[in-house]
Chains A and B, each alone.
Chain A
Amino acid sequence: MNFVLQAQGITKSFPGVQALKNVSFSVSPGSVHALVGENGAGKSTLMKIISGALASDEGTLFIDGEERILKNPREAQDLGIAMIHQELTILPLRSVAENIFLGREPRKAGGILLDYAALHTRATDLLNQIHVSVDPSRPAGTLSIAQQQMVEVAKALSLRARVIIMDEPTSSLTSRETSTLFQIIGELQKCGIALIYISHRLEEIFSIADTITILRDGQTVHSAPTADLTPDSVVRYMVGRELKEVFPQGKDSRGDTILRAEHLSGQRFTDVSFSLRSGEILGVAGLVGAGRSEVARALMGLDPLQGGTLLFQGEQIVPRSVRAMMRHGFAFLPEDRKAEGLFLNMSVRDNLAISMLDRVFPFGIIRPRLLLRLIRDYFHRLNIKTPSPLQRIKHLSGGNQQKVIIARCLSLKPRVLILDEPTRGIDIGAKSEIYTIAQDLAAQGVAIIMISSELPEILGISDRILVMREGKSVAILNQGEATQDLIMHKAAGGTSWE
């Protein structure tokens, strides 16, 4: 067969870690090759090697059947390999066209002046090629994340890429944007461009991939055409064990109503009502932009509530500040782990301890040994894996990072715990652990509000589900009656079910 890209026997180790061990795979033109594996399985390392950002210790790369040694990303680009990173590299203040041709702007007058007219027309051509209608003169920062991704695709096309690597491209897209992206991927395939598609979302992979390669602990455990695999078998290969109970079945631990929201309104939401009982998990479903995070932020005192009443244990409260709400027993796990949840350059210990210092050390002097003991306790309870409490948290996997933030929430001894997309971008093993933690907390009487865009997750874990649409609460469904279809219809505004 004719492959555009072939990797053979790729091996790479870092001090103390064997990141990749004899990994091989190949990509044929016009196909989508999905790469799956838990965090730490070696996907990113492999992609860095293929895109020229990292050199392998052993193994060879063939591009169009020719052996190549890539010294830097520029060489990979020149040979037609482009990578679209999960965190987009858009310059927000420059125009779409300038972003697409950054560093390769068309020039005139012997190379002295930028040729804005040519820049504009070429950018328009590229965007048309993938059927994206975006004004190329708009500042790229004003585009939605999905549109910015399209700009990255256009940039890859402008480089005449023949292999495009996409790392978790849908992690912040709505379902509509995702289907647009898939159409574009289809267009790219028709042009003979190959895609390497990295994702945690098996549903997506099964709908677009031709081939699936599964990595575990730096090795290829399986590689096969999608038709020969099932989601269950892929999960089995990924974790290396049977994961029957992704969603632990908790007993109904619901107690009295602890929180009642009546006709709340605030920034980008109006007329949101719900109630929450202690020991209950209330899932919050809705499309991106439905106002779910905004409600959470207002409940936590981050943004002002503009109307409605909030009753906590029967008494009316007004969320004025995060600190005030924490004193009421509220804790919050924010949606954006890196920007809002973590102090990336600080240690695991400091990230975990930061909210409890005032309470544990009322005299204002930290006792390091006591602190370490407290922290170890959380390490055990939440199964947090780190080489040392002094390890900088940015070196931990997403799942462990998330568990550290959950530990920080728990250190506040919460009565009401608000989790905003707690499993975003973490591997399936860690997801399952987080579900178990949530169930255990509910069993101990903590009331949990869990916002999630993954319907199977919402359905699996919630006692009741609040559905939001365009800033309003449109339905509250009990566990028995909720289905994916029903939730989607409520969330997207379908009428047939009402």
Chain B
Amino acid sequence: MGIDSTHRRFSWKGALARHSSALIFLFLFACFSLLSGRFLRIGNVVNILEQSSLLAVVAIGITFPIITGGIDLSVGSLVALCGALAAGLVTGHAVPVPLAIAMVLALGALLGGINGFIIVAGRFQPFVVTLATMAITRGATLVYTQGRPISGIPASFTFLGDRVAGIPVSLLILLIILILFQGLLRFTPFGAHLYALGGNEETARLAGISVHWIKIGAYSISGGMAALGGIILTARLWSAQPQAAVGLELQTIAAAVLGGVSLAGGSGGLAGTLLGALLMGTLANGLNLLGISSYLQQVIIGAIFIAAVMLDLWTKERHGESSQGALS
């Protein structure tokens, strides 16, 4: 019986087919390098990575509900709420920084888990539930901050938005969670069950998968990563803004989709999402360097988004195989 070996040989062609947005990424990178002398400098590349890391962290989180075939619209508001709470804890209540971070991360995961619980227990559409909690969370942020920024953050906290030996701390955080969650997706039953659930929920239930807990877990991860995003944002800005991260949920969804994560569920992975986030960061950075007005920037970003999705569809059709297996 001809059974392939477990080792899959890496091929650039296959990798590009899986992540066609990499092509666009390389293309844009080349364009900006040619058009702007400042673009390719090490300092600027580090800037891009630093600026993309917040989006990437939250986008990695939202990838989990999207793989189940759901969505989490509350992440933007959750970034703001958790950022404000972290600021409040370390300033007003003088809670030690590590404890404050742990508390906020736990709260984010809990609030995300509550999203999942409502979706599962009420059999509601994830879109509807998280649209509601998006409003609730944003409102709670405004109530908590009374609409005013919280500043006076101690240096032990703003360190998270700083750099060590020229390397942004947020980038290191991003790398750690990327490795952690990539492992979770590829090498644990949770990951396998997540893809199964997204592929066919009824089959997953009949196969004895605890569909409810997997879903709650997915939203919990999304909430936890939004909390981490809030912490990074507060550290970077040296203050918490009640209107922070408005619309971030749409940017994270865009990053995931650019990275080839299907909104229908069951396919996609974190490498793609990361690439999508980097693509968006590069685009914003490059257009700024070229001095293109922020009004026109939105038009260009939208057009490139459409182009990326079309290219993705086209390469997938040509290669047939597209979505990744759960364990592969």
Do A366 and B189 contact each other (CB < 8 Å), given the known contacts A340-B203, A355-B208? yes
Q: Which of A302, A342, A364, A388 is the one whose CB lies under 8 Å from B203?
A: A342
When the two chains form their complex, are residues A361 and B189 in contact, meaning their CB atoms are under 8 A apart?
Answer: yes
When the two chains form their complex, are residues B206 and A322 in contact, meaning their CB atoms are under 8 A apart?
Answer: yes
- Chain A residues in 8 Å Cβ range of B6: 368-369, 372
A246 adjacent to chain B (CB < 8 Å) = no
- Chain A residues in 8 Å Cβ range of B1: 376, 379-380, 385
Q: Which of B2, B4, B187, B195 is the one whose CB lies under 8 Å from A346?
A: B195
Give the docked Cα–Cα distance between A341 and B8 (Å): 27
Give the docked Cα–Cα distance between A342 and B204 (Å): 9
Do A357 and B321 contact each other (CB < 8 Å), given the known contacts A322-B208, A369-B6? no
When the two chains form their complex, are residues B327 and A365 in contact, meaning their CB atoms are under 8 A apart?
Answer: no
Give the docked Cα–Cα distance between A349 and B188 (Å): 15
Do A347 and B206 contact each other (CB < 8 Å), given the known contacts A357-B192, A366-B187, A366-B189? no
When the two chains form their complex, are residues B206 and A341 in contact, meaning their CB atoms are under 8 A apart?
Answer: yes
When the two chains form their complex, are residues B206 and A353 in contact, meaning their CB atoms are under 8 A apart?
Answer: no
When the two chains form their complex, are residues B189 and A346 in contact, meaning their CB atoms are under 8 A apart?
Answer: no
Do A354 and B323 contact each other (CB < 8 Å), given the known contacts A345-B266, A388-B4, A390-B4? no
- Chain A residues in 8 Å Cβ range of B267: 345
B209 adjacent to chain A (CB < 8 Å) = yes
- Chain B residues in 8 Å Cβ range of A346: 195-196, 199, 266, 325-326
Do A366 and B3 contact each other (CB < 8 Å), given the known contacts A340-B206, A346-B325? no
A326 adjacent to chain B (CB < 8 Å) = yes
B148 adjacent to chain A (CB < 8 Å) = no
Give the docked Cα–Cα distance between A340 and B196 (Å): 12
When the two chains form their complex, are residues A350 and B192 in contact, meaning their CB atoms are under 8 A apart?
Answer: yes
B210 adjacent to chain A (CB < 8 Å) = yes
When the two chains form their complex, are residues A392 and B208 in contact, meaning their CB atoms are under 8 A apart?
Answer: no
When the two chains form their complex, are residues B196 and A392 in contact, meaning their CB atoms are under 8 A apart?
Answer: no
- Chain A residues in 8 Å Cβ range of B138: none
B146 adjacent to chain A (CB < 8 Å) = no
Interface residues on chain B, size class:
20 to 34
Tell me which of A347, A349, A357 has the highest count of chain B C-beta atoms within 10 A of its own C-beta. Answer: A357
Tell me which residues from 193 to 221 in chain B have a Cβ below 8 Å from any Cβ of chain A. 193, 195-196, 199-200, 202-210
Do A366 and B208 contact each other (CB < 8 Å), given the known contacts A385-B1, A389-B3? no
- Chain B residues in 8 Å Cβ range of A365: 187-188
Q: Could you tell me the distance in whole angstroms from the C-beta of B56 to the nearest C-beta in chain A?
A: 25
Do A343 and B199 contact each other (CB < 8 Å), given the known contacts A323-B210, A355-B208, A390-B325? yes
Tell me which residues from 87 to 121 in chain B have a Cβ below 8 Å from any Cβ of chain A. none
**Nearest A residue to B187 by beta-carbon distance?**
A366
Q: Could you tell me the distance in whole angstroms from the C-beta of B193 to the nearest C-beta in chain A?
A: 7
When the two chains form their complex, are residues A354 and B202 in contact, meaning their CB atoms are under 8 A apart?
Answer: no
- Chain A residues in 8 Å Cβ range of B209: 354-355
Tell me which residues from 1 to 53 in chain B have a Cβ below 8 Å from any Cβ of chain A. 1-4, 6, 8
Tell me which residues from 288 to 313 in chain A have a Cβ below 8 Å from any Cβ of chain B. 300, 302
Do A347 and B189 contact each other (CB < 8 Å), given the known contacts A326-B208, A341-B206? no
- Chain A residues in 8 Å Cβ range of B321: 392
A113 adjacent to chain B (CB < 8 Å) = no
Show 12 residue pairs from A and B whose CB-CB distance is below 8 angstroms, ordered by the A residue.
Answer: A322-B205, A323-B208, A340-B203, A342-B200, A343-B266, A347-B325, A349-B325, A361-B188, A366-B187, A389-B3, A389-B4, A390-B325
Give me the interface of B with A, judged by CB distance under 8 Å.
Answer: 1-4, 6, 8, 187-190, 192-193, 195-196, 199-200, 202-210, 266-267, 321, 323, 325-328
Q: List 11 additional A-B contacts (Cβ < 8 Å) besides A332-B206, A366-B187, A392-B325.
A: A322-B206, A339-B202, A339-B203, A345-B199, A347-B325, A353-B192, A354-B193, A357-B192, A366-B188, A368-B327, A376-B3
